[in-house]
Amino acid sequence: MSQLKKILILGAGYGGIVTAINLQKQLGFNEAEVTLVNINDYHYITTHLHAPAAGTFPHDKTRVKIDDLLDGNKVNFIQDAVTKIRPDDQLVELKNREEPLAYDYLVVGLGSAPATFGIEGLLENSMVIRNINSVRMIRTHIEYMFSRYRNEPDRDDLVTIVVGGAGFTGIEFVGELAYRMPELCKEYDIPREKARIINIEAAPTALPGFDKELVEYAMETLERRGVEFMIGTPIKACQEDGVVVGDDEEKIKAATVVWTGGVTGNPLVADAGFEVNRGRVQVDEYLRAPNYDNVFIVGDSSLIFNEETGRPFPPTAQMATQQGINLAKNLVTLVRDGGALTTFKYEPKGTVASLGKGEGIGVVGKKKLFGWQAAQMKKIIDLRYLYMIGGISLAMKKGQF
Ligand code: FAD
């Protein structure tokens, strides 16, 4: 029997893959038994997903084979779905394995699930920008609805797209859609003015919490490209043929509804019995789950409060990546029995949102970025990430130039 410590990583998203890659770099052969479990045999660049969803970027360029990132001699990869985490038994159950996997240290990086805020019919009748399969479906669904319009010209709903939520994901998606719309309408012989993109947000502003001047710039840019905003307008229900909005319960008929209004932790973490706050686990300074010193939660399923504002940090790839780097270092320390762990401190480097090709907004340090400058910065951030996980060749292969 191997006496090596078993590190089990669940999920190959930003948090999970960065932990695995850094462990692979820092651990010598036979220092620990590291296993990564992921539902697909690829890692996807979630921060790009709005583009393949709108059909402006090939979905294949947003994913990377896990085998291309990991050395099989150092990290054992299992493609399977996690079905249950049993922290009291130190076991994890998988869909296609009878024997559960045992661990000494567990890293949970299973990402998020859509937050529905109790909106009736939302999960059944809308699509979400969540993974490769979901964005491929959104793109082909929109194209199919547009292709039907010339055959059913009274059905304006076929060319009406409702996007619920004007946070970062919603704004990036409508930006990309607005950019593609002229070409899409041309392809299906639809007058541009017939096709509608309606972005609906319950909060009193788009991009809540973001700099006011940048929000105004984003909304003006997108309105110029034909996006209609309904801000301060809650979606009350989502139905097969559209959404019901506002206090007067107005019905908007739309054959495509995409929900981007927020995420909660992966339900597997609550099912495991970890204490959750709106579906996410409030981790300690070493990213540990309460009451379990050997369970670490990274990414969208974890919750960390910003001491300055008293509010949680939003779940981002930036947060998940920094957590993965810190955690790998601490796991190496634990495996080597090498003394004190390093406290995790999130260092926000800025935020940049794309508004469709060549347009964006952002804040980096104290500097505000608009338009082309922000769009370039977004590309640099993405390239930097690709370089970090897969070196120059991956950046060249999958980057947007
Ligand atoms: P994820 O990256 O979601 O990965 C979770 C992994 O777990 C996936 O590989 C999934 O397949 C796997 N998994 C899930 N369930 C199971 C299971 N049961 N069994 C096995 N495997 C499973 N953040 C930024 O910082 N900057 C941005 O510009 C930005 N833009 C965004 C744009 C869009 C369109 C979206 C959707 C998000 C954006 N984000 C951005 C947020 C960011 O993508 C997430 O915060 C980040 O992906 C979270 O990383 P994670 O590791 O928690 O999970």
Cβ of residue 168 lying under 6 Å from some atom of ligand 1: yes
Q: Is a pLDDT exceeding 90 seen at residue 347?
A: yes
| SS (HEC) of 317-386 | HHHHHHHHHHHHHHHHHHHCCCCCCCCCCCCCCEEEEECCCCCEEEEECCEEEEHHHHHHHHHHHHHHHH
**In the chain, what percentage of residues exceed pLDDT 90?**
93
Q: Is a pLDDT exceeding 60 seen at residue 1?
A: no
| Span 138-184, pLDDT tens digits | 999 999 999 999 999 999 999 999 999 999 999 999 999 999 999 99
Residue 366 has a pLDDT of 87
Cβ of residue 324 lying under 6 Å from some atom of ligand 1: no
Mean pLDDT of all residues in 306-329:
95
Residue 246 has a pLDDT of 87
389: closest CA among 45, 47, 129?
45
- Whether the Cβ atoms of residue 238 and residue 119 lie closer than 8 Å to each other: yes
Residue 213 has a pLDDT of 96
Mean pLDDT of all residues in 388-395:
93
Mutation probe of ligand 1 site: the residue of 35, 44, 47 with most atoms within 8 A of C-beta: 47
Whole-angstrom Cα distance, residue 67 to residue 63?
Answer: 12
Q: Dihedrals φ, ψ of 13, to 5°?
A: -85, -160
Whole-angstrom Cα distance, residue 197 to residue 176?
Answer: 11
Residue 2 has a pLDDT of 65
| Span 74-96, pLDDT tens digits | 999 999 999 999 999 999 999 99
Cβ of residue 261 lying under 6 Å from some atom of ligand 1: no
Exposed (0-12), middle (13-18) or buried (19+): which is 375, by Cβ within 10 Å? buried
Q: What are the C-alpha distances in Å from 194 to residues 121, 167, 209, 250? A: 27, 26, 33, 20
Go through 223-260 and write b for each residue having 16 or more CB atoms within 10 A of its CB, e for each that does not: eebbbebbbebbbbebbeebbbbeeeeeebebbbbbbb
Q: What are the C-alpha distances in Å from 177 to residues 144, 163, 170, 210? A: 15, 10, 10, 22
> Strand, coil or helix: what is 81?
coil
Q: How many CA atoms are closer than 13 Å to the CA of 56, on its beta-carbon side?
A: 23
pTM of the model: 0.95
Q: What are the C-alpha distances in Å from 234 to residues 76, 122, 399? A: 46, 13, 37
CA of 39 to the centre of ligand 1 (A): 13
- Whether the Cβ atoms of residue 65 and residue 41 lie closer than 8 Å to each other: yes
Q: Is a pLDDT exceeding 60 seen at residue 238?
A: yes
Cβ of residue 165 lying under 6 Å from some atom of ligand 1: no
Q: Dihedrals φ, ψ of 52, to 5°?
A: -60, -30
Q: Which two tokens stand for residue 232?
A: 């301060």
Q: Whose CA is nearest to atom 3 of ligand 1?
A: 111
- Whether the Cβ atoms of residue 349 and residue 384 lie closer than 8 Å to each other: no
| Span 318-345, pLDDT tens digits | 999 999 999 999 999 999 987 899 999 9
Q: Is a pLDDT exceeding 90 seen at residue 375?
A: yes
Q: Among all residues, which ones are annotated catalytic?
A: 172
Query: Residue type at 24?
Result: Q
Cβ of residue 36 lying under 6 Å from some atom of ligand 1: no
User: How confident is the prediction for the chain on average, in pLDDT?
Assistant: 95
| Span 36-68, pLDDT tens digits | 999 999 999 999 999 999 999 999 999 999 999
Q: What are the C-alpha distances in Å from 326 to residues 15, 107, 401? A: 10, 12, 30
Mutation probe of ligand 1 site: the residue of 316, 318, 323, 327 with most atoms within 8 A of C-beta: 316
